[in-house]
Amino acid sequence: MIKLENVQKYFYRGEPREIHALVDINLTIEKGEFTLFNGPSGCGKTTLLNAIGALDTIDSGNIYLDNRDITMLSENERTTLRLNEMGFVFQAYNLVPVLNVSENISFIMKLRGFSDQEIKERVYEVASMLEIDNKLDALPNTLSGGQQQRVAVARAVAAKPKIILADEPTANLDSKNSTALMDMMRSLNEKEGVTILFASHDDYVIESVRRIIKLNDGAIVDS
């Protein structure tokens, strides 16, 4: 489903020397994986996640999604790809504060042109799965951190993307909510068949995934 060939990315930080963010990454990820990019801070895991999600460009190499080279797409095409085929879960939740839970979950579905009936049924389905169906009329600032992250996950999965990319999704959660969130995301992976990729060094994520890809200094050191 996802294939990376010789992917390289460099950062330049105030001096004329290259700093490798990603070093010769070669990787295949199959449909339905529940996989973690793991390693110390600065190892490249978030950069790799963002490259796969077409959020960041790379300096050389190729990234294929279903045999389509996404590195060759224009910015408008990359935006359309993210909208139609990907869901994102961020550490900071990134909910729209003036929209209630139901409206936040349905946001991507509306952008993609789902009917009102499809939206209503799907919002309730994913909200029930993530145990926030009793909060659909609430605004984000009235929810706990764990509840807000569940809303973010519901929004990511509602439009049935092929891939969900989750960057440090448990970083702001306590142990109880971290465990619950990972259990729910694994259930979504199994029931929906969606491929879920994490970038994290959290033990709760490490214990939950099926595959761990370890990075150090921008390179894959173990899988």
17 pLDDT band, cuts 50/70/90, is: low
Burial of 123 (0-12, 13-18, 19+ CB in 10 A): buried
91 pLDDT band, cuts 50/70/90, is: confident
CATH label of the domain that carries residue 163: 3.40.50.300
pLDDT for 109 beyond 70: yes
Phi and psi at 67, nearest 5°, equal 70, 10
101 pLDDT band, cuts 50/70/90, is: very high
**pLDDT at residue number 188:** 87
Written as six digits, the tokens of 157 are 């999965």
159 vs 33: CA distance, rounded Å: 19
| Encoded amino acid at 172, one letter | N
**Angle, alpha carbons 173-180-163 (nearest 5°):** 90
Counting the structural domains of the chain, the total is: 1
220 pLDDT band, cuts 50/70/90, is: very high
Query: Domain limits at 215?
Result: 2-222
The 3-class secondary structure across the chain, one letter per residue, is: CEEEEEEEEEECCCCCCCEEEEEEEEEEECCCCEEEEECCCCCCHHHHHHHHCCCCCCCEEEEEECCEEHHHCCHHHHHHHHHHHEEEEECCCCCCCCCCHHHHHHHHHHHCCCCHHHHHHHHHHHHHHCCCCCCCCCCHHHCCHHHHHHHHHHHHHHCCCCEEEEECCCCCCCHHHHHHHHHHHHHHHHHHCCEEEEECCCHHHHCCCCEEEEEECCEEEEC
Per the prediction, the chain carries an average pLDDT of: 93
Percentage of the chain modeled with pLDDT above 90: 78
pLDDT for 18 beyond 70: no
pLDDT for 112 beyond 90: yes
Find the mean pLDDT for residues 89-117: 94
**pLDDT at residue number 177:** 86
What is the CB neighbour count within 10 angstroms for residue 20?
Answer: 15
pLDDT for 181 beyond 90: no
Find the mean pLDDT for residues 138-167: 94
Q: Residue count of the chain, please give it.
A: 223
53 vs 82: CA distance, rounded Å: 7
pLDDT for 190 beyond 80: yes
Torsion sign, CA atoms 164, 169, 174, 179: positive
pTM: 0.90
pLDDT for 16 beyond 80: no
53 vs 164: CA distance, rounded Å: 9
How many angstroms separate the Cα of 109 from the Cα of each of 123, 134, 161? 9, 20, 10
What is the CB neighbour count within 10 angstroms for residue 206?
Answer: 14
What pLDDT, in 10s, does the model give residues 131-144?
999 999 999 999 99
pLDDT for 14 beyond 70: no
Rounded to 10°, the helix 101-111/116-129 angle is 130
